[in-house]
Chain A
């Protein structure tokens, strides 16, 4: 299965990309994908505690299961307004 990962703001700068495709296995969770993202982009480690993940535009938890074609957002702390 393939998911599309989108990086925003500080996460985009630290990962040096706006988006990428990543391979996940059937039944993989957001937490497992997060580990893989941090291994691929160690520069993200310092902000990993405050980063939140979204799946298909909804804030996800570590155990949210991923499906083929899902859009995963990597969101640093937000500051709208």
Chain B
């Protein structure tokens, strides 16, 4: 099976991600998809443009996968983040976790998506329906 790209400009295919975490010993699989909302802070959104420090994001994602595998007794984890211009409803990020029992899959998946938001070098510029453009407020990157 070909390796899943962690950072990609192409649309995210969630069945590929589910396939990557398939495991005969798994009794449950959790899939999280982050999608582009049509409104943010009360304003109508047209599209989002994601920028990424690709090499660093790939390295940090690989480290995060290793950390999650150590912290929870899960079978497999896969995550993908997209960059470039995304329209309303498109998937910007996907996390899938398979495990023997569901509790650890939910916990590990939540930890992974929360950590992605704070520790990956990604930025998004919001293009509003009004024509205005602005970088969305973020958080200083964590170690």
Contacts and interface: CB of A to CB of B under 8 A. Distances in A.
A40 interface: no
Interface stretch (B10-18, B100-108, B121-129): B121-129
Interface of A: 6, 8-10, 50-52, 54, 57, 59, 73, 75-81
A9 B140 contact: no
A51 B138 CA distance: 11
B115 to A, nearest CB: 10
Interface residues of B, number: 31
Residue from A50, A73, A81 whose CB has the most chain B CB atoms within 10 Å: A81
A78 B56 contact: no
B143 A9 contact: no
Tell me if B's interface is mostly helix, strand, loop or mixed.
Answer: mixed
Contacts of A80: 50, 57, 81, 93, 116-117, 120-124
B120 A9 contact: no
Contacts of B122: 78-81
Given A75-B53, A78-B117, A81-B113, 14 more contacts: A6-B53, A8-B121, A9-B51, A9-B123, A10-B135, A50-B140, A54-B141, A73-B56, A77-B137, A78-B140, A79-B123, A79-B124, A79-B136, A81-B116
Nearest to A57: B56
B140 A81 contact: no
B27 interface: no
Contacts of B59: 57
